[in-house]
Structure formats: C-alpha cells, structure tokens
Amino acid sequence: SIQVCRIQVKGMTCTSCSSTVESALRVIPGVQRAQVALATEEAEIHYDPKVLSYNQIMEAIQDTGFEAILIS
C-alpha cells in the first residue's frame, strides 16, 4: 500500500526552489504524489514502499541542493 512521508527541506528561498524539488520528486518511479511547501519548508510524499524507500526520496531532495530531514 502507498505510504506517506514528511520531510523538512531546508535552504529553499523562493517558489522556484520548491518547484525544483517538487518536479524532481514527481518524476521518480514509485512516487505517487509530491507537494513541497515553501513557507513551512515541508515536503509530503506519497510513495510505494515496494518501489523505493524514504531514504532514496531524501537523497533525491539532497541531489537538488537542499538539505532533507525526516519528520515522519
């Protein structure tokens, strides 16, 4: 079944930053939904744990140049 993880994304300063992270997440196989909120620095990702882990999601965020910290 689909799982949801929330990750704090640090270092974003404009909506282009959050859009970049969102786009990077949405193209990952196994990611069903991804929303990144600039104001709260929070990303919510719905993903299939049979396809990937939240650690891989965090790595994908870090690859965009921002720090990722697991919330839940």
Q: What mask of x and - would describe binding to ligand 9UX in positions 3 to 42, judged by CB under 6 A?
A: ----------xx-xx-------------------------
DSSP 23-67: HHHHTSTTEEEEEEETTTTEEEEEE-TTT--HHHHHHHHHHTT-E
Question: Residue count at the site for ligand 9UX (CB under 6 A)?
Answer: 4
Residue 14 or 27 with smaller CB distance to ligand 9UX: 14
Give the C-alpha separation, 41 to 49, whole Å: 23
Binding site for ligand 9UX (CB under 6 A): 13-14, 16-17
